[in-house]
Amino acid sequence: MSSDAPPAVALPPAETALLASTTTHERVLVAQAVFERGTGDYAGVGKLLEGHALLRERGPEWFTADNLGRVFGVLLANAGYDPTTSFPAQAPELRKVAHKYYMDRVHELYEAMQLCQDQFRITYSEIQELKDGKLDWKLTHPDRALPPSPVRPGTALPAADAL
């Protein structure tokens, strides 16, 4: 997918800190609310966002027009747009910014699903090994780090790095 948005530039440390202080959910919600209201109505954006279930942790000062203007300015800069540019509601540029943060959230969810799948595979393999008796040595010899040697019972196999 090609984008008409200019490439993102390196953000100053203060803006990087502000971006890091927001979650992906918050970025998506702010970008969507600004898309609905435009960059000239941060008070309206605050009213849209106030009371949202995913923003309960934020205090009332977070929903002020000044703070939301700063937050969205950083989101714009991070997406490659000039944060001083004014956009009307439903502007194509605002749609692209909202889409960028929406896709960031989608990728975050894909990564979480991958971690869950990896954990499932590990757990499933361990269950299979338990069923097959491959881990019985851990019960009978809990002090050993390696399974007993199948060649000489009573001795452990050498570690892989010792070979």
63 CA to centre of own chain: 22
Q: What is the mean pLDDT of residues 126-134?
A: 86
Residue with tokens 């040595």: 137
Of 82, 96, 78, the residue nearest 34 (C-alpha): 96
pLDDT of 35 > 50? The answer is: yes
CB 91 within 8 A of CB 38: yes
Q: Which residue has the higher pLDDT, 21 or 150?
A: 21
| Residue 51 pLDDT class (50, 70, 90 cuts) | confident
Q: In this predicted model, what pLDDT tens digit does every residue of 98-119 receive, in sequence order? A: 999 999 999 999 999 999 999 9
| pTM (whole model) above 0.75 | no
Q: What is the mean pLDDT of residues 42-50?
A: 95
- Sorted by where each begins, the domain ranges of the chain are 13-102
